[in-house]
A and B are shown apart, each in its own frame.
Chain A
Amino acid sequence: MLTLAWTYLTGYARATDPARRDAPEWPPHPARVWLALAAAFFETGEDPAEGHALEWLRTLPDPQVWLPLQAGGRRHVVTAYVPVNDKAEGTALLQSAPLARSKQPRTFPAVWVGDRPCFLHWPEAPDSDRYRPALTQLCARVTRLGHSASLVQMWVAERLPTPEDSFAGWLPTEEADSGLADLHLRRIFQGPSLERLRETFQAGRRPLVGLAAGYRAATFTPPPMTNTTAFDRDLLVLTQVDGPALPVTASLQVMQALRDTLMAHCPQPPPAWVSGHDAQGQPLADRRGHLALLPLPFVGYEYADGRLLGVALAFPTEIDRRERGRVIRPLFVNQQGKPADVSLRLGRLGVWVLRKRAWDDTRLTLQPETWTAFPRGAKRWASVTPVVLDRFPKANRLTERANWEYEVGSILFEACQYAGLPEPVEIDFGTTAWTPGAPRAIAKERPVRGASPPAQARLGDGFPPYLLKGARAAKPQVHVFLRFAEPVVGPVLLGAGRFLGYGLFKPLDFFVPKRS
């Protein structure tokens, strides 16, 4: 076994995709790592032991690539205009003055990685003990990976991270299946020899590695004892690609528009698991679940502003994938098989355009694991959107506070049972959210003094009431904190509004990357 690790000292990986000058290369290609080692070898005296170690690496099969889950956040690539080289002689002296030099366009693509390491891992590396000292020495001499501003620290690691550590793995496919891979990364195996690199360098050229190996994302199944809910953890995430920035308090409008669009574009009549109604138009009984729509707001972090970044579809676990694809494909996939744009008309709020999340979109808010806590599960969960109580408490909140609280607790306890969750060991609730960035459960209002006719003014932010069709008054809605004895894998959705985005929970003990 052999594992090479490195961290990007500035938090950014700066390497240009060889096929596009305006795009960063991510994930890092194994050949690029090997070439960085080779550069260090040539620049630091060409120790023969290091040379043998590099040639030995070329004989190993393709390595696994392990990257921090939050890595790969792309920055918008802007075109910079850089001064060209000056001319030192002749009549061009004036041109050498910085202000007189022309500027030409170029780009500096980069991706955000953070301070966590990246890994290349060879599970089978015979003779690794023999070459480890030379590799350790060589790794310590590597200063950059990619562009000269992409400073790294590299070492031979003793341990490989796991998905439980919030790392994502890319595994090489079998040779025969490499054409079926999700990703092609330039390979070390069968790559250019040190002698070829020397010749290339002497000819004043950069090395060319055209051979690539196919890679697929590592997949994992949850531990068998982990508790799950009635919804499948495999969320279909849609990201906002156009339209106004909306606060999470607009969730209800967005979810309603998405539901209407979905109902209009799925095979007719809409299946019961989409509409939530049986053939007679009655709400599904016998505890059968149906499709839930989730808002995905930027909440739970230090600078979270509660803005909606996308939405997700949570499927009932009993609906198989083929059936899901059959029903939602007409809306979300175009005729070429690519993700299609879905436009939602939101009245005065404008038009929102959604598209299926790209695999390399690394925003945490848009990753299913952020909302499901998969694979570890979480014991502590807090609502992001308010939980609408399934029924009105009989006690008066103002005059019988203790009874009211007891009753609300009981309703929430039953809601957990109804959602298929284990019994919580702690329930707390209130109007203020436990999650940073999430607004109050209900907007506060006060009477406007002297207004005629009498009017109410809103105080601060808060969610609008969830008014059921035909109801005269909205049921109480509260923010809720839940703690379970055992970890639970989500999505956790509770209360009367759980199919339209209300009652959405976020795990509180999910890994949150440290900000540097």
Chain B
Amino acid sequence: MTPNHHIVLRGLDGTTPLGFLAALGLVNALRECLPDLCLAWTTDEGGWVAQLGSSAPIRQADLLNWLDKMLVRSLDQHPARLYEEVKQQPGNVFLQVRQAAAVGHRREADFLAAIASNLAPAEATSQLQTTRRDYHVGNIKSILGRTTRSHLDRTLFKPWDYADPMDNQSLHLDPSEDRRHAYQWHKPSGDPTRRQRGTMLGANRLAIEAFAWFTVWPVGGALKTLGFSGFGSGETRWTWPIWTPFVPPDLIPSLLALAPLQDDPIGESDRRRLRHMGIAAVYRVRRILVGKTPNFTPARNIA
């Protein structure tokens, strides 16, 4: 589809995992505000940046207004509260969320399907979760509460300056948060610069909205996540496509779930097929353990 209007979001670089997630989160957050919303990627200064399309005009200020309206600030109003609830009463939560779900009202059901499974142990987490289990909900709560319009403005429309503090408000999704001591000035634990800069709060806020795209399912006592392959610290990889035609939100999960993306290497015929589908590039990160904390490596273009 070719939208009548579109806007290029120079901040959302799809070659980084956090940039890609933030773009998906933005689409998820705005899908009820903008008619015929769609997403594509275009090149800009060394990266693939997101461009949002719609049949209605999109201006920067309007985009921020809609986000102000759609993004809740309290954990109680966000499906992320299910992290805690599902731990306490797993059976009931799954039942209640399932019963409450409807075709036009499936936000909580999608989120729950992305963070837990009633067929897996309670301690199993999504492979997309890279913060420590005991900090995760606290960080989400901080991010929901602290994100302002200016954070979102910097995230969407400007090259990222990583000028927001990392302490207790980062989902650890950006490869730059791999802070091994030998490669930086300060000791990672107690690093005073964490309180000053290091992340993009707005990107983290939008990424939370993208979690619902990444459904999990139980495999041998653990949770496997859509778009990921392998288990274990050295084997887990996340692969995502970058597409150039405008794509509506409902089609995005299908693109994320394309089976050939998980091949290593992707076969020539599959690469040709992906090209014909409009997928201009494929990026892959590894999920590694730095000390005890999971981290994504910088993305590599694999096709």
Contact = CB atoms under 8 A, between A and B. Distances in A.
Contact of B272 (A85, A179, A190): A179
A106 B46 contact: no
Contacts of B181: 84, 104
B299 A210 contact: yes
Nearest to B163: A203
Interface stretch (B32-40, B182-190, B225-233): B182-190
A210 B15 contact: yes
Interface in A181-233: 184, 186, 190-193, 196, 199-200, 203-205, 207-212
A206 B77 CA distance: 38
Contacts of B275: 176-177, 179-180
B182 A19 contact: no
Query: How many of chain A's residues touch chain B, expressed as a range?
Result: 20 to 34
B170 to A, nearest CB: 16
Given A104-B180, A211-B43, 10 more contacts: A184-B300, A184-B303, A191-B45, A196-B46, A207-B46, A209-B46, A210-B15, A210-B16, A211-B46, A212-B301
A468 B79 CA distance: 79
A209 B187 CA distance: 28
A203 B185 CA distance: 16
Nearest to A185: B301
14 contacts: A84-B187, A180-B272, A184-B302, A196-B45, A199-B159, A203-B162, A208-B16, A209-B47, A210-B15, A210-B16, A210-B48, A211-B46, A212-B281, A212-B301
B301 A208 contact: no
Contacts of B303: 179, 184
Contacts of B280: 179
Interface in B259-287: 267-268, 271-272, 274-275, 279-283, 285-286
A31 B16 CA distance: 17
Given A203-B161, A208-B13, A337-B267, A20 B297 contact: yes
A82 B281 CA distance: 38
B171 to A, nearest CB: 19
A176 B274 CA distance: 11
B15 A211 contact: yes
B46 A192 contact: yes
The winner among B15, B182, B268, B303 for most chain A CB atoms within 10 A is B182
Given A19-B300, A210-B15, A85 B159 contact: no
Interface in A153-182: 176-177, 179-180
Interface of B: 13-16, 43-48, 159, 161-163, 176, 180-183, 185-187, 197, 267-268, 271-272, 274-275, 279-283, 285-286, 297-303
A21 to B, nearest CB: 8
Contacts, number: 98
A269 interface: no
Nearest to B158: A199
Interface string A391-427: 0000000000000000000000000000000000000
Contacts of A84: 181-182, 187
A31 B46 contact: yes
Nearest to A196: B45
A385 B226 CA distance: 55
Contact of B297 (A19, A190, A208, A210): A19
A18 interface: yes
B302 A208 contact: no
Contacts of B301: 184, 186, 210-212
A193 B45 contact: yes
A105 interface: yes
Contact of A192 (B45, B163, B274): B45
Nearest to A176: B275
A104 B184 CA distance: 11
Q: 6 closest Cβ contacts across the A-B interface?
A: A210-B15, A106-B182, A104-B182, A212-B301, A19-B300, A104-B181
Nearest to B279: A179
A184 B286 CA distance: 17
B3 to A, nearest CB: 23
Nearest to B275: A179
B302 to A, nearest CB: 7
Interface string A464-490: 000000000000000000000000000
A250 B185 CA distance: 54
Given A84-B181, A192-B46, A205 B162 contact: yes
A117 B303 CA distance: 29
A211 B49 CA distance: 11
Contacts of A200: 159
A208 B185 CA distance: 21
B23 to A, nearest CB: 13
Interface in A1-53: 18-21, 31
A211 B48 contact: yes
Given A190-B43, A196-B159, A203-B163, A180 B185 contact: no
Contact of A211 (B47, B268, B282, B298): B47
A206 to B, nearest CB: 9
A260 B206 CA distance: 61
Contacts of A193: 45
